[in-house]
Amino acid sequence: MSKNKEWYYIISIAFSYVVANFGGSFASGREVVEYFVRYGAKGFWGTWVSIFLFAYLGLVALDLARRWQAFDYHTFVVKLYEEFLPKPVASLGFWVFEVVYLVLCILILGIITAAGASLATEEWGLSYTASSLIMASAVLLVVGFGAEVIRAFNFTITWVLLLSAVVVLAVAFKPISGNSFQVVASGVGPEGVGWFMSSILYVAFSLIGVVMITSLAEPLTRRFASITAGVLGGAGLGVLILFEYFSAMAYYPEILNEVLPLWFVCSKTGSLAVRISYDLMLLGAILTTGIAVTFPLVKRFKLLLVKKYGAEKENFYGFITTLILMIIGLGISSFGLIPLVAGGLTMIAWAFMVVFLLPLLIFGTKVSFFKKEK
């Protein structure tokens, strides 16, 4: 493989890591407010805990996928569990993981649908149903083409998302930066170390992005490429977390009850360009996160259906799986964005921390750094 081609894969997979979390962890701003801003000035230290974990767990997961040639989450998780459990128990443990993962995916689909519906209602007066159907159709279209198209799509749309994010965050943050830094420096916020656990829970539910990138990691044939992609993706996520945290802190504690905190920050600027950029960013983020959530599941269940019924209708199986997931996510979204993030997401994050984050952190590290490659 040429160096240019290798770097294309490194950057596209790093970008996929960023955009996989964009809609479910950043675009509305609700998640950053719930898990960092809620803790005031101490939330700043939580952002750095999450940045380290994003980069470290990303590089470990990609390196393991390369070593094990495990490019679907079933193979990857079973291999990971076999590092500390007997094979029969590891296989049983996978089913626990899959149930938790499925619930997390459906919950995130509900969250991004609720975010998109809130924006469409506020900005354009579109009906909830119409905006949801448009998003679902776009996800169905891209997922239907498979991994190579998703890598190319993410490589392309990430530039749009990042450009929109730069416009939004730079223009919105500049006039409030002094106030923001002053609020953080004041030490305002609740006492205690709740910020630390909150930052870990944020990473736990966001590891859905790690599941996504291991499904795309087949072109990464060198350890250097795996580590670089993980670090770049983690760094990109870190920049977004910090910018959003400081932007929101300028309006602390008023912003804690906003459904779309980042839209609230943008609306304070009075700039049409900022509003349009934010709208583009949120819609793109919803699309990319919808793809990130559905693709690993589609890949997994399509293999099961092909094994049972044959490969003649392989594309149809993928379409039906994606459609079912989107319909369920649409139903979940009716609970509203704030309850879904504050209640549902926190609860499932605890479970995902046990079934995935801790095994990857402890036993993934053991394999990646202390076991020789065969």
Render 244-291 in DSSP notation, one character per residue: HHHHHHTTTTGGGG-SSHHHHHHHTTT-HHHHHHHHHHHHHHHHHHHH
d(CA 236, CA 162): 10
pLDDT in tens, 174-186: 777 788 889 999 9
With 0.85 as the threshold, say if the pTM is over it.
no
For residue 353, what pLDDT is reported?
95
d(CA 253, CA 123): 25
Residue 4 lies in a domain: no
Q: In total, how many domains does the chain have? A: 1
pLDDT in tens, 40-99: 999 999 999 999 999 999 999 999 999 999 988 889 999 999 999 999 899 999 999 989
Nearest to 341 by CA among 26, 29, 30: 30
Give the number of other Cβ atoms within 10 Å of residue 276's Cβ. 15
Per-residue pLDDT of the chain (374 residues; tens, 9 = 90+): 677 788 989 998 998 888 777 766 667 788 899 999 999 999 999 999 999 999 999 999 999 999 999 988 889 999 999 999 999 899 999 999 989 888 888 887 777 777 777 777 767 777 767 776 776 676 666 666 655 666 666 667 767 777 777 777 777 777 777 888 899 999 898 988 999 999 999 999 888 888 888 988 889 889 999 999 999 999 988 888 888 899 899 999 899 988 788 888 888 877 777 777 777 777 777 777 777 777 777 777 777 777 777 777 766 777 777 777 777 776 776 666 666 666 678 888 999 999 999 999 999 999 999 988 87
Virtual CA dihedral for 142, 143, 148, 152, nearest 10 degrees?
40
Residue 250 lies in a domain: yes
CATH number at residue 323: 1.20.1740.10
Residue 309 lies in a domain: yes
Residue 343 lies in a domain: yes
Q: How far is CA 110 from the centre of its chain?
A: 14
Which tokens in the block code for residue 170?
């730079």
The residue ranges of DSSP E strands in 69-207, in sequence order, are none
What range does the domain containing 178 cover? 10-357
Residue 364 lies in a domain: no
Residue with tokens 């750095």: 48
For residue 128, what pLDDT is reported?
65
For residue 287, what pLDDT is reported?
74
d(CA 210, CA 233): 10
Residue 1 lies in a domain: no
For residue 335, what pLDDT is reported?
65
Q: Which residues contact 147 (CB under 8 A, 6 or more apart)?
A: 215, 216, 218, 295, 299
For residue 107, what pLDDT is reported?
80
How much is the CA Rg of the chain, to the nearest whole Å? 20
With beta carbons less than 8 A apart as the criterion, state whether 136 and 366 touch: no
Residue 365 lies in a domain: no
By three-state DSSP, how is residue 161 classified?
helix
Residue with tokens 């790093």: 14
DSSP code of 82? T
For residue 177, what pLDDT is reported?
77
Residue 366 lies in a domain: no
Residue with tokens 């767990």: 57
